Amino acid sequence: MLSRVANSLYWMSRNVERAENNARILDVQLLQMIEAADEELIRDSDWKLIYEICASTETMEHIKSLPSYQEDQLVHYLAMEETNFNSVARCVRIVRENARISRDHIPDDYWEAWNDCYLALKEMDQQSCTVKEMRQFLEQVKLTSLITQGIVESAMPRGVPYQIIKIAKWLERAEKTARVLNVVCERTRERVLEAQSEDYYYWLAALRMTNGYNAYLKMNPPQMDPKKVLTFLIANTNFPRSIRYCLTHVRKAIDELEGGKISHYSWELYAKLDQLQEEFEEISIVELNSDEIMDFLNDFQNGCNEVGEIFSKTYYLSDSETKPRESSQSQSMGAKGITSMKYKVEHTNVFQYETIVDQSMNSIRLKPRTDECQRLLSYRADITPASLTKEHIDIWGNHVETFFIAEHHQHLEVKTTSIVSIQKSPFIHRIDYSPEMSAIFHSQLFREHYLAFLSNTAYTYLTIEQMSQVDRELGIMKNPVQYAIDVMEHIHQHFTYDGESTTVDTKAQESFDLRKGVCQDITHVMLGILRSKYIPARYVSGYLYVGENSALVGDAASHAWVEVMVPGIGWVGLDPTNNVEALENHIRVGVGRDYNDVSPVQGVYRGGSQSLDVKVSVSLMDQ
């Protein structure tokens, strides 16, 4: 599985668990608000507890300092606030987005359940909804989480996607339980110092927040003994929200993922898990005082965060740079990890013939691809004169439609309309080129597998003298990932975008000497340089969305850019025309060795010369 697919599944699962946890915690608080009635001191203390678990006390104080402050605003921030990366509503949006992106890897029922929850959220007036309406939404989120967990268990094969989902779930759950207990221990200690007596109110809250109240009463006497509650939520091996239970299942899922073997790239992950397991073996909750328990929980929570970071690094998931800075909690991770856009693309080719054509045979490659980064939602081809098309997939995986026109005509129009959803591919600037990736890159198997994209063609060939000039300007290649970025930046600095200087038949060595051309020419030059260094690279044709006040160029017709094969990551796009990574603004249609493999329209006809007019429109749609 490509890392970007694993990334979507991982953050989908973590945010499912986060949404349920935060919905449950907030629902407990709303219930306790009713029980506390007008006891203002208790209510303030409760909100401090909730905000320390789900946000921060600084945020709570800021809300309370607002001139128009009402208690409902505290509820709204945790339940509905879009700027809060841990709000229940924001988590639901992230879940739905990641589920939509990875629909090919999850059961349909899973997607439909979260999509229904998202649609219910959209129908709410999130700015002015009542506490009662928010409680109904929280209840729906909890129910949807439980239903979709059942769907995963009953309908998913126990393959890689399943294990990724489970690892994310158990990590998120362990971290949240540790945080709840950490905050409850701190608040309880404060109350004991103030009142000089034990306070069991918060231990009851801790059990309710972790959905463990009923299970605890069935296994223990009906009393809130702090040590028994802590033992139950930390070390119980049978309760599925205890820290130890979660940690054990993280280890089991990773064993399944790795086939029970510790590899050179996964040893650090196993080492950290073993360390945490050993700490559990050595500790006895009953013998610890409150300070020692808090130290243990602090260390464990930090350990959970570290396991998550090592796991992300090991499998090339979103790194720490995607964490929002607005939240003080580590649990804000993943909110920005995925971005997607939806576009409508209209592409019209109009051929005007000098004389009447009595028949023509044509092939078009205008249907956008569906893969890990892109989903084709709808597509239509309208041909005038009317003709039926027959579709097949070529050797490069491109959609090819062929059609034959037998009647006389002097005008041919091919118009395609597509709606496409794009997900960001990995940030190539953030990829750490590891020794394992280097070993794969230099292996014979890697070169044999991507041989087609290592061999230069007539379009991409550069002379020895031209490559010597590149070496003088860029230096020796050490890291192929960084080298590809350097080539992109170098070409962008030294080449001018000029639609009049070249033709469709211009080759890379001509463009190199001219130092100008269109995106096709610039892409061919970059391909020639990369392939000369044995870096697998392919030509990509597609479309570019250019919004208002954008410096991007190349949206007037089809656009072209390069994709580089990064070991362990997959194909990553680089656009030398604009010196940017091909992310959510780039819509992929075809890939191949060069322009000749992906030409949008090809054909033969019997008649005189022709003229061609091309129009492309790319518009951003609402999600």
Following DSSP, what letter does each residue of 457-517 receive, concatenated? -TTT---HHHHHHHHHHH---S-HHHHHHHHHHHHHHH-EE-TTS--TT--HHHHHHHTEE
CA 25, distance to chain mean position in Å, is: 27
Tally the residues of the chain.
623
Specify whether the CB–CB gap between 574 and 526 falls below 8 A: yes
- CA–CA distance, 224 with 231 (Å, rounded to integer): 12
pLDDT value of residue 361: 93
Is the model's pLDDT at 409 over the cut of 60? yes
Identify the band that residue 330 occupies on the pLDDT scale cut at 50, 70 and 90. very low
For the packed helices 226-235 and 160-195, what is the interaxial angle rounded to 10 degrees? 160
DSSP 8-class letter at 451: G
Instruction: Please list, in sequence order, all residues whose beta carbon lies within 8 angstroms of the beta carbon of residue 277, skipping any fewer than 6 positions away.
Output: 247, 248, 251
pLDDT of residue 327: 34
Long-range (24+ apart) CB contacts under 8 A made by 379-387 are: 379/416, 379/417, 379/418, 379/419, 380/416, 380/417, 380/418, 381/414, 381/415, 381/416, 382/413, 382/414, 382/415, 382/416, 382/417, 383/412, 383/413, 383/414, 383/415, 384/411, 384/412, 384/413, 385/409, 385/412
Q: Alpha helices, DSSP H only, in 124-200? A: 131-155, 160-195
Instruction: State the chain's mean pLDDT as an integer.
Output: 87
- Cα 550–Cα 554–Cα 555 angle in degrees, nearest 5: 75
Q: Pick the residue with more confidence: 539 or 317?
A: 539
Query: Which distant-in-sequence residues (6+ apart) come within 8 Å of 112 by Cβ?
Result: none
Q: What is the pLDDT of residue 235?
A: 87
Over residues 236-242, the mean pLDDT reads: 92
* pLDDT tens track for 298-313: 888 888 888 888 888 8
Q: What is the pLDDT of residues 121-152, one digit of tens each?
A: 999 988 888 888 888 999 999 999 999 999 99
pTM comes to 0.68
At CA 329, angle to CA 327 and CA 331, rounded to 5? 105
Residue 385 or residue 282, greater confidence: 385
Residue type, 540: V
Question: CA distances (Å), 123 to each of 116, 120, 127, 289, in order?
Answer: 11, 5, 12, 49
Would you place residue 36 in the very low, low, confident or very high pLDDT band (cuts 50, 70, 90)?
low
Q: Tell me the pairing of strands 496-497 and 516-517.
A: parallel
The gap between the terminal CA atoms of the chain, to the nearest Å, is 26
Q: Which pair of structure tokens corresponds to residue 472?
A: 């003088």
> What is the C-alpha to C-alpha distance for residues 383 and 47, in angstroms, rounded to an integer?
64
Of 26, 10, 327, 3, the residue nearest 162 (C-alpha) = 10
Q: Give the distance, in angstroms, between the CA of residue 563 and the centroid of all CA atoms in the same chain.
A: 19
The rounded percent of the chain whose pLDDT value lies above 70 is 91
pLDDT tens-digit profile of 174-201? 999 999 998 888 888 877 777 655 667 7
**DSSP H/E element including 343:** strand 340-357
- Which strands form 537-544's sheet, in the order they lie side by side? 580-581, 570-575, 559-566, 537-544, 586-592
Q: State how far the Cα of 243 lies from the Cα of 240, in Å rounded to an integer.
A: 8
- Model confidence over 57-112: pLDDT tens digits? 899 999 999 998 888 899 999 999 988 989 999 999 999 988 988 888 999 999 99
343-360 pLDDT, tens digit each? 999 999 999 999 999 889
Rounded to an integer, the average pLDDT of 227-251 is 91
Region 401-411: what's the mean pLDDT? 92
On whether the CB atoms of residues 169 and 19 are closer than 8 A, the answer is no
CA dihedral (180, 185, 186, 192) positive or negative = positive
AA letter at 353:
Y
Cis peptide before 480 (omega within 30 of 0): no
- The tens digit of pLDDT for each residue in 523-569 reads 999 999 999 999 999 999 999 998 776 778 877 789 999 999 998 77
Higher per-residue confidence, 399 vs 324: 399
Least confident of 327-336, 402-411, 469-478, 565-574: 327-336
Read off the pLDDT band of 326 (50, 70, 90).
very low
pLDDT band at 515 (very low <50, low <70, confident <90, very high): very high
Residue 157 has pLDDT above 70, yes or no: yes
The first and second tokens of residue 119, run together, are 């649609």
Q: Among 208-222, 379-393, 553-567, which range has the highest average pLDDT?
A: 379-393
Tokens of 327: 């939240």
Query: Could you give the CA distance from residue 319 to residue 323 in angstroms, rounded to a whole number?
Result: 8
Maximal C-alpha separation, the chain: 101
